[in-house]
């Protein structure tokens, strides 16, 4: 079962987990802008969330395909 706070350090030292950290650092603002462009202002839920992981055969070496699906939650004003 996944749980928040499972990493021992704020910057991951495990090479695979560090790549995810690096993806968010490099592409996080792009992900945000694309989501806002498509859906408007809001966030993608990490609670109502699904993920699929597949192997993609490739002559240069197999690839990892990860599909993340989170419910869009528009910002609300109170």
Which are the catalytic amino acids? 19, 22, 45
Taking Cα atoms as reference points, which of 43, 40, 38, 33 lies closest to residue 70?
43
State whether the Cα torsion 46-57-29-37 is positive or negative: negative
Q: Count CA atoms closer than 13 A to 35's CA, side-chain side.
A: 18
Contact 26, 50 (CB under 8 A): no
């Amino acid at each position: 079962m996944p749980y928040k706070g499972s990493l021992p350090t704020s910057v991951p030292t495990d090479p695979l987990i560090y790549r995810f950290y690096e993806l968010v650092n490099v592409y996080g603002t792009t992900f945000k802008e694309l989501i806002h462009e498509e859906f408007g202002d809001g966030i993608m839920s990490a609670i109502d969330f699904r993920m699929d992981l597949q192997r993609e055969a490739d002559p240069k070496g197999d690839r990892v395909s990860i599909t993340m699906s989170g419910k869009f939650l528009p910002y609300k004003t109170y």
